[in-house]
Structure formats: C-alpha cells, structure tokens
Amino acid sequence: MPKSKRRKHLGRNHAKETVANSENQSHEDGQPTKTFVCISARQPYAGFILNGLKTIETRWTQVFKNLENKTVAVHVAWNEWEGQEWKDILKERGLEEMEIEDLLESGKKHGRGVIAGVFTVGESWKCEAETLSEGERQDLEKQAILRPLDGKYLTRIYNPVWLIEPMKCRGQPGVWHVEIPESSLPV
C-alpha cells in the first residue's frame, strides 16, 4: 500500500499523545508529506467545520484527548447526517434559506470519501446540561450546530482550512493517522 494511503487506527476513545503533525514523511514519488490525526465527519457537518461555521465539535467519547493545540485532518464521510436540527439552529443564528443552501453547496466542493481539510483542536470538556443556564446551553448549541449536547464531549475548534487538493481515503471509526502531501496543505 502506498505510504500516502497508510493509516494507523488509534482506537475509539483517544489518540496517542505523540501524534498530529509530529512527523514529516515522503510520498512514494519523493513528495514530502505530513502525518496528521484524522476524524470522519458526515455532511453537512464536515463542510460546516471547514467553512468555520461550526466552532465546537461534539463526540460521545474523548477522541480529542491529548490533542489540544494539534492540527487534525477532516475526512468527509459517505453518509449524510440523519437529523435536520442543524437547519433550525442555522435559522436561529439568522441565516436565510438561500444562505443555508449556499453553505451546503460550498461544503461539497471536495466530494465525499476524501480528506478535505484540517483544523486546530482547542479545549475539550464533557457537557453537563444541568450546570448550564438556558442561555449558555443555547449558545453552545449554536456553536456546535447540534442539539441536544448533554453527555457529549465538546471540543473547541480553530483555524479550519480546506486542502488545496482533497485526498481520497476510506474513513475509520474514532481517530487514525493519515499522511497528506505538503503540496495539498494551504500555506
């Protein structure tokens, strides 16, 4: 298997501490690559992340444990998100139907089954709804573009960018490593 397609599955609960941009490699054609931890996200959420609209990522497990301040790659899954609550939340944020459609379209620019971009991981915490005021809960839901959040691990995400060229890749559960050609990374 070509080095650029290899990935190492790290398990569902957390990534090892020695990951995310720690290694520079070379592609089989000699092109330099960088190794990143990768997560899969369904549409429309992958597009919301990479377009900077979704600033809190939610997971049922601590997949971002030990990854704060690291850069993580985003794989766009083949399947769509099954719920429609995101549309109501976007409308609550003041977006019109046409703006939502434009966002959905821009989120599809690299297709599916690809590594499409990267973001920086911020702080993570478990959401305990009973400790939040109604206003705090609603604010978190707007940032995550999801509800309900109770019991989920929330992680702030920063600096999302689309790759210059997407990289075809099969998704994995949890997190895994991917090698991305440096020429695909934005400067």
Per-residue model confidence as pLDDT tens digits over 28-60: 567 899 999 999 999 999 999 999 999 999 999
- Banded pLDDT at 16 (limits 50, 70, 90): very low
Domains of the chain: 41-171 (2.30.130.30)
- Stronger pLDDT, 12 or 88, i.e. the higher one: 88
Query: In the prediction, which pLDDT does 104 show?
Result: 86
* Contacts of 14-18 spanning 24+ positions with Cβ under 8 A: 14/61, 14/62, 14/63, 14/64, 14/65, 14/66, 14/175, 15/63, 15/64, 15/65, 15/66, 15/67, 15/175, 16/66, 17/66
Q: State which H helix or E strand residue 153 sits in.
A: strand 153-168
- Stronger pLDDT, 158 or 11, i.e. the higher one: 158
Against a cut of 0.75, is the pTM above it? yes
Q: Is the pLDDT of residue 112 over 90?
A: no
Q: Which of 12-16, 74-78, 102-106, 120-124 has the lowest mean pLDDT?
A: 12-16
Q: Which of 72-76, 91-95, 168-172 has the lowest mean pLDDT?
A: 168-172
Q: Are strands 24-26 and 71-80 parallel, antiparallel or unpaired?
A: unpaired
Query: In the prediction, which pLDDT does 154 show?
Result: 97
Query: In the prediction, which pLDDT does 10 show?
Result: 35
Rounded to the nearest integer, the mean pLDDT of the chain is 84
pLDDT digits (tens, 9 = 90+) for 3-15: 333 333 333 333 3
